[in-house]
Structure 1
Amino acid sequence: MNQPNYRIEVTGLTKRFGPVTAVDSLSFSVEPGVITGFLGPNGAGKTTTMRMILGLVTPTAGTATIGGKRYGELRRPSEIVGAVLDASAFHPNHSARDHLRIYRTMGGHPAGRVEELLDRLGLAHAAHRKTRTFSTGMKQRLSLATALLGDPQVLLLDEPSNGLDPEGIAWLRRFLRELADEGRTVLVSSHVLSEVQQIVDDIVMIRRGTLVAAGPLREMERFRPSTVLVRSPDAEALKKVLLRGTSDGVAAQSVETGHDGALRVQGLATAQIADLASAARLRVHELLTEDTSLEQLFFELTADSEGDAR
């Protein structure tokens, strides 16, 4: 690709629908060459935000730009931005090949692009079939092929893993990584957090239309202290030892006893726990580090008993 890099910049973005504020003073950026996960509970404002970035919804306030320009200011936008907001927007009686040919003609893209994408998206064997016969996974692939007709540098994908089986999710993970490695800017909204954790480089989390957290996934580790699972027949005595710690201040931040009698310890590494137990002549049968998952972080940061407005 010879296209320049395009950065998505959202600044003070706000959208109100009557008395409901769907997006509230939201600011974040999405960098080229990485996959950014756009996370939040259902109704948090993710789709509304993506539609504002694409010029499909007019903001009440704020701006959303791609490469420094609003979507409506882009020349030949389908060659810069590809989007999948609805993976079922196909004429049921069109074949996959006919569907892509129509959109290729509308966008003025090279004729060879259709066959190239059918092959790259693994749809060549089904190119003649009516889209109404397609599985959810095949529709997701066809939606991606449609978005890529203009060979865009920016991709916005709303819940692209919805309805995919494990094989399809693994394929999507590899495919999006290829796109990012090509230098494209990739924004993916999803609530399938276990999959997001395996694929994204950066994270933008929102709740009720406001920013909760943003940044590289690796930096989210500071929000996710590791927990060590400890099983011991001397659990109660060990709990006291871990909380008391050593004379030089090495002690657990917290020790909780689970319903199964196991201890969950924060603030100490496995080696430190083993040393403290040994010094106190207490038995330990198991030590296991449990990293807090992105899903746990998500629920911790977005928990709201009142729910989300939109």
Structure 2
Amino acid sequence: MSGRPQGPHIEVSGLTKRYGAVRAVDDLSFTVRPGVVTGFLGPNGAGKSTTMRMILGLVAPTSGTATIGGRRYVDLSRPSATVGAVLDASAVHPGHSARDHLHIYRTMGGHPADRVDRLLTRLGLAAVADRPTRTFSTGMRQRLSLATALLGDPRVLLLDEPGNGLDPEGIAWLRTLLRGLTAEGRTVLISSHVLSEVQQIVEDVVVIRKGRLVAAGPLAEIERSSPGTVLVRSPDAAELRAALLRGTARDGAADRVDLMADGSLRVYGMADRAVADLAAAERLRVHGLTAEAGLEQLFLRLAGDDGPAGGDGPPVPANEKAARR
């Protein structure tokens, strides 16, 4: 950790947002601490964007509070020097160059002129700085949005789906960038509905579904506390399922075995080694066996259930609840 001061905490307390009869956010409470990347996770439409917009003062909560270092966003004296946000990577004028775009926002925020060239270099945009943004790929627009968020050298970053449009090389670049920012003591909250994109980036997670808390805390602890499953492909699926439910004297039986639509089995409460040993003992064929991590399964259950109540705000609002600190 560098000698730079730690960023402020983000505190969300009892945050609620209603759109008519639908609760987009329902008594949501959590803390985002500095020096780590916190992932705000949930299926599409879980209400993550609604929450981030309330933190930024763009959506008025029905009740509850969201503060940054103990102050509401609207009460910050120089908001863009405290908080940088990426909510929509497409929000750039197609005729402006990346350099023009950054200078406009730099002037609006009263930030030093030399920040533009420094960020163009840091975000990998120096070679295309004078091209019109209409020629940019989605990934390049993401980089430009991140550069815009960093113009005021903020201690807090809120990034909504920052991995959208990035290829694997871009995801690796984003991971390096965010780790560098948190090593400087910044507070970073990123939302995503794609677990694989953020699993190697985040250290803390807040997982929500339909406004309800699913899990919150350090990623490593949640993965340990959420039981994993084993996915098995076998041409003898029916016989193997019956054997797994019977179990063995040494390893016991599976808690549950689901037959999936593709004919594979998802086994709960049994280690991958025990599943393989049982199949061999029963002389049943196995063509594939994959141990699935606990958080991965938690996320798959979210994405595979009956879905969200709506979208992330009007006209089709989401329903989203709490992640506690």
TM-score bracket for this pair, using the shorter chain length: 0.7 to 0.9
1:11 aligns with 2:13: yes
Aligned twin of 2:246 = 243
**Mapped contact 1:252–1:265 kept (Cα < 8 A):** no
Q: Which moved more, 1:282-291 or 1:35-44?
A: 282-291
Match of 1:223 among 219, 222, 226: 226
In our comparison, the structure showing a higher alpha carbon Rg is 1
1:72 aligns with 2:74: yes
**Mapped contact 1:239–1:255 kept (Cα < 8 A):** no
Aligned residue for 2:170, secondary structure, equals helix
Please, what TM-score do these two structures have when normalized by structure 2? 0.82
Aligned twin of 2:54 = 52
**Cα gap change, 1:262 to 1:107, in 2 (>3 Å):** closer
Q: Which moved more, 1:88-97 or 1:52-61?
A: 88-97
Aligned twin of 1:91 = 93
**Cα gap change, 1:94 to 1:223, in 2 (>3 Å):** same
Aligned twin of 2:314 = none
Aligned twin of 2:35 = 33
Deviation at 1:74, TM superposition (A): 1.9
Aligned residue for 2:200, secondary structure, equals helix
Aligned twin of 1:300 = 301
Deviation at 1:40, TM superposition (A): 2.1
**Mapped contact 2:227–2:293 kept (Cα < 8 A):** yes
1:253 aligns with 2:254: yes
- Between the aligned partners of 1:262 and 1:17, the Cα distance in structure 2 is 41
Deviation at 1:144, TM superposition (A): 0.3
**Mapped contact 1:242–1:273 kept (Cα < 8 A):** no
Aligned twin of 1:102 = 104
**Mapped contact 1:245–1:251 kept (Cα < 8 A):** yes
**Cα gap change, 1:293 to 1:274, in 2 (>3 Å):** closer
- Between the aligned partners of 2:211 and 2:220, the Cα distance in structure 1 is 24
**Cα gap change, 1:293 to 1:130, in 2 (>3 Å):** farther
**Mapped contact 1:81–1:154 kept (Cα < 8 A):** yes
Instruction: Name structure 1 gaps, 5 residues minimum.
Output: none
The superposition leaves residues 75-131 of structure 1 with CA deviations (integer Å, 9 ceiling, x where unpaired) of: 322121100011122222221112111211222222211111000000001111111
| Aligned-partner residue type, residue 230 of structure 2 | T
Aligned twin of 1:191 = 193
CA RMSD of aligned residues (A): 3.0
**Mapped contact 2:259–2:266 kept (Cα < 8 A):** yes
Q: Which moved more, 1:231-240 or 1:29-38?
A: 231-240
- Between the aligned partners of 1:157 and 1:151, the Cα distance in structure 2 is 15
**Cα gap change, 1:154 to 1:302, in 2 (>3 Å):** same
Number of positions where the alignment pairs a residue of Structure 1 with one of Structure 2: 306
Please, what TM-score do these two structures have when normalized by structure 1? 0.85
Aligned twin of 1:22 = 24
Instruction: Name structure 2 gaps, 5 residues minimum.
Output: 311-316, 318-325
